[in-house]
Structure formats: structure tokens, C-alpha cells
Amino acid sequence: MRLKAVRVKNFKCIKDSSEFSIDPKVTCLVGKNESGKTAILQALAKLNPTDEGLANFSEIDEFPRHQLIAYREQGAGRAADALFTTWELSPDDVADLVQLLGPSVESIQTITLTKRYDNKVGYALELDERPIVQHLIASHDLEDVEKYKLTGAETVVDLRRALEGLKEPDPTPKQKALLASIQGSFDPAGAKQTVFNRLLKRLPKIAYFAEYLRMPGQLAVQDLKGRQSSGKETGEDKVFLALLEMIGRSVAAPHDSLAVPLFKEFLEEVTKDPEWSDCETWLVDTGDLTSLGDQDSLDLGRDHLNEFAQVCPKFASIYGNHDAWPGKLPLLAAPSAVMAQSQVLVARKYVVASPQCPLRTTIPHGDGEVQLYFADSIIHDQWRNTWALGEISDTQLAALKSLVDQNYDQRRRDFRILAVHHPVHYPPPRPGFQMAMRNDRSVAAVLDTPSPAGAYPLAHLVLSGHTHYLYPPHGGLPAQPSLCIHPHLGDDQCQFVVGSLMQLDRYNKRLGWPHQCQILRLHFSESQPAVLSVDRLLAARQAGEDYRGTGIGPYKFVRLRRDSEETAEEISFAI
């Protein structure tokens, strides 16, 4: 998104700046002292500041003093206007909307974002929802009789209500999948609010500064925590904290040691479930046992995995980008220390820069196998790992194809799972310069291409962590891979992402379930040998209103809806 125009009202010395345009390259504010140049920048920064302490408009401190009494006496009940901005959408912004809402939203070129003295962000945009409704119906391949039941729906809210109001024998499986997709991906207020929510996440951060601050070469974390708790952070502290926030980390988000015995108890319950106790159970870890990659934490993390292996001996793990940190932020470490961290990981039995197939098993009563593959997406580089970027090299992709072919038999129907720390399809919106896999499109293309021996797809299911988000959203898992929203993977493939098992959730990214994992149960039917179904269940510790970002109580399966006891979502793959 690019800022196109700004207007400031009722702020400090500014009554009304009138709207002025922003040049794509440089915009210079020129004026006398005390004419409002600084005030304009301060007001603009409040829309989405890097420093949350600068986010709010204050009537007492910032509303023009000579107008304040009159404004309050009017008592209109509506907060005064302060900021109007117009933003131009980038091709990536539009592409993100198209993934969910269909090609009709390509017409959205700009959005107006506003902020008043009640500090709520408002918006204005033009949107015809009828093509969106038609796109949603068409994307779920409804039959004519199923579509007829939805006649008259002109908005996404209309469509959701029509689906929710279907009586027996409706809704059909396709109608259920459509309803689950809407409930999982759309705001209850409708398509406009959904567009606003998605674009707000992509809104650039605005940095306002009146002096240059430098990040220290070394910093004592415990001292910093003390200054944070007392509200006495220095400018240098704020620079360091801002950098951590940009890469999704925090000095106040450690791992909860209580989660370890509770998760072990949960594993015991799962493996002893009478319905599944005769089936082979795997434990798969997608990385980031640690926050800083220090050797003590790596060893402690391996100890935890070994505890879990006492209950579930079939386990495999890869390392994450934070495990590749040499005990500190890579940007603050020597390049040699960053490179040497790979040997620290190898010494702890991790495989670096090479694919592997650690687990495989025969499908009971079937003529194929379930095979688990690993790929290493970590970049051992100061800058790229600081920004949490990933990559799977062409050499490693070629080796993965060769490894798949070693295990491939064209007479079998195999189901291949690829576990990789960085998602091949990042949960939308994909970040522009951090967190994502740099070559995700080319990796997806390889995974959607037959191997030299003819194995296709190279991976049916991709499992990742890294993002701290559950994806597809809980309750929004499509019934088949072709309905999954990831345009660069194939119609026979799907990407699953899950949040952190034990890390405290300072930024509330995991929607009330800060400690989570996903349980995948695979079904095979002799009557349908070309289909393998996967049940996905979210297991987590729930957060309470007074414990935001903190898991409390034991791990348990999360219900799909409050009014239902259902916990499993099913997706069926062609094999």
C-alpha cells in the first residue's frame, strides 16, 4: 500500500490542512516556524505508528485549545475528525484480496482510512458484493439445486445467513464446506469489513522521530525487562524492541515450562485412545525449540523432545530459524558465529541443508505408504535470519526429488507429507520483506511437478510452523485441496500451519489458544483406494480474559463452534 493523500483537522495548531497529495518518491513540507509541519507528521504517525505509545489522539493535550470548550459544549456525541488518508493498493495487496474474494475486487484501487479523537480507525471503499457471492458459490462447485437454495443472496452476510438457515436434508457437504469457508475467512460484518481487516494488516508502519537513536552493540535483557516494567525504556531500548517486534519476537515472550508435563499427559491420552491405539502415532516438530539458539536452550529443548518420545517413540524434528541464532540476535553477532551455529545444530543430530525421510509406514489394508519428508529452509546469514526469511535451495529441491524417487513405486498409492519450518504458502497476507520463504513460488512449482520417476505431486500435504498462526483457520478447513486458497500449490496439495506449542503469546496471535498443536488422523477406505482423508483437530491450552497470551489448564481438543461438540475437520486427498 502507498500513501497518496493526507488531510489533518483539529490537531494542535492545525484547524484544517486541506487535502494534499504525497509524491511516490519525496514529499517536502515547507513553512514558517510553528506553522504545523511537525504537527502534520505527528498526526499522520498516529494511524499506524512503530511506537504504540504515539498511537492515540488526546483531546486534552492535542485538540486546539481555543476550540476545545466550544467543541465539548456542542455535545454532539461524535468524536472530532483528526486524520484522513488515501492509500493506493499495490499489485500484491490486490492479489491477496483476489485469493479470497475473487477477480471482481481487482477494481479496488484505493481505500480511505480515517481516525477521530475516539481513536478508532474508520474506512471508506466502494465494493459490489454480488460478484463476490457468485465467486464463492462457483469456487465450491455447487450443483444447480444447491445454488437454488441460495437465490437472492447479494452480500456475503446474506449468503452466510442463507446457508445457516438451511433445513434438513440440507445443508449438503458442499454447502457445509462453503459455510465453513465463509465463517473461517470472513468478518461477521461482511465483505467490506473483511477487506478493511486484511488491508489494515498490510498497512505500512509509520515511523516518526525527531532525533536519531542508535541500537546498542550489547544489551542486558534482564535490565531491559526492569526498565520496561517501570516504564523507563531508553531510546536505545526502543530501537532494539522495535527490531524485535518487526521480526515477531519479544523479550517478554518466553516458553512456559508448565506446558511440558501437561503436553506429555495429553500425548498419553491421545496414544491410549481406544479408537486409535492400534494405529501408529508420529510426533513431528517443525522447529524453533528455542528463542535465541543458545546451547543450553537447545539441550533443554532436546530433553523435552526426549520426554515426549517416551510416550511417542516415532518422532522426528527439524530446526527453526531461531534455533539457528548463535545465542543472540544474528545482526548483533559476528558473521563467523552465525555460520558456526550450523555445526552446533549438527552436533545435536539436526540435518542441515539436506532433505530427509525420517518416517514412513504402510497404509493398513491399502497398497501404499504414508511418507514424511523434511526440507531445511533456514538461511545461515546475519541479515536474512534476523528478518526471519527462509529459502530452499535448488540443490536441496533436486535432492528431495531424488529422495522421493528412491521411495517411489508406481504400483503403490503413497501419501507424501513435507515438513518445512517456513510455509511454502504463507498465511495471507504474506509479508513483503520478512518472515516468508524468499523463493516460495518456485518451491511450490517444484512440489507441483512430477519427479523424474513420475511421483506426483511431490508432496500432498505441507506442514509448517514459524508464523505463530493456525492456517487454514480453525473451522475453515476446505473439504478438498482444490478449495484451499494457495494459488502456487497445485489442486492436489494443501498447506497446514500451526502456532507455538509452549511460547507465551504476547501479541495475541493465536486467538485465545496460545499453546497449540494440531492432531492429524489419517483415514483409508478399501472401497475408495484412491482417496485418503485427513481429520485435523486443534489441541491447545485456553487463555482466559485475565491471562491474555498465557495458556492455563491442560491441553484439550478445541470445539469447532461453541454450540457444537465437534472437534474434527476433514479434508480428502486423491492418491
Helix/strand/coil (H, E, C) string of 430-495? CCCCCCCECCHHHHHHHHCCCCCCCCCCCCCEEEECCCCCCECCCCCCCCCHHHCCCCCCCCCCEE
> What does pTM read for this prediction?
0.63
Length of the chain, in residues: 575
Q: How far is CA 203 from the centre of its chain?
A: 16
CA atoms of 509 and 529, how far apart (whole Å): 39
Helices (H), 283-439: 295-311, 335-346, 382-386, 394-406
In terms of C-beta density within 10 A (0-12 exposed, 13-18 middle, 19 or more buried), how is residue 151 classed? exposed
Spatial distance between the Cα atoms of 440 and 466, rounded to a whole number of angstroms: 14
| CATH classification for the domain delimited by 2-124, as one of 3.40.50, 3.90.1690, 3.30.70, 3.90.660 | 3.40.50
Strand residues in 171-261 grouped as ranges (E): none
Grid cell, residue 41, equals 507528521
**pLDDT at res. 547:** 52
In angstroms and rounded to an integer, the radius of gyration of the C-alpha atoms of the chain is 26
Q: How many CA atoms lie within 13 A of 5 on its CB side?
A: 11
Q: What is the C-alpha to C-alpha distance for residues 474 and 127, in angstroms, rounded to an integer? A: 27
Q: Residue 428: what pLDDT?
A: 87
Rounded Cα–Cα distance for residues 317 and 323 (Å)? 12
382, 335 in Cβ contact below 8 A?
yes
Query: What is the pairing mode between strands 315-317 and 283-285?
Result: parallel
For the stretch 355-370, what's the b/e string if a residue is b when 16 or more beta carbons lie within 10 angstroms of its beta carbon? bbbbbeeebeebebbb
Q: Parallel, antiparallel, or unpaired: how do β-strands 110-116 and 121-124 relate?
A: antiparallel
Residue 90 carries which DSSP code?
Answer: P
* Strand boundaries in 210-335, DSSP class E: 283-285, 315-317
Please report, in tens digits, the pLDDT of each residue of the chain (575 residues total).
999 999 999 999 999 999 999 999 888 999 898 889 999 999 999 999 987 888 999 988 999 988 887 877 776 668 889 999 999 999 999 999 998 899 999 999 999 999 999 999 999 999 999 999 999 999 988 888 888 888 889 999 999 999 988 877 778 888 888 998 898 889 999 999 999 999 999 999 998 877 777 777 777 766 776 787 677 888 888 888 777 766 655 565 566 778 899 999 999 999 998 888 888 999 999 999 888 898 988 999 999 999 999 999 999 999 999 999 998 889 888 899 999 999 999 999 999 999 999 999 998 767 899 999 999 999 999 999 999 999 999 999 999 999 999 999 999 999 999 999 999 999 988 888 889 999 999 999 999 999 999 999 999 999 999 988 899 999 999 999 999 888 899 999 999 999 888 876 655 555 567 788 999 999 988 888 889 999 999 998 876 555 545 567 789 998 888 788 899 999 999 98
The helix/strand/coil state of 534 is strand
| CB-based burial label for 53 (10 Å; 0-12, 13-18, 19+) | exposed
What is the fold, at CATH topology level, of the domain defined by 247-574?
Purple Acid Phosphatase; chain A, domain 2 (3.60.21)
- The pLDDT assigned to 66 comes to 83
| Residue 48 · residue 204 · CB < 8 Å | yes
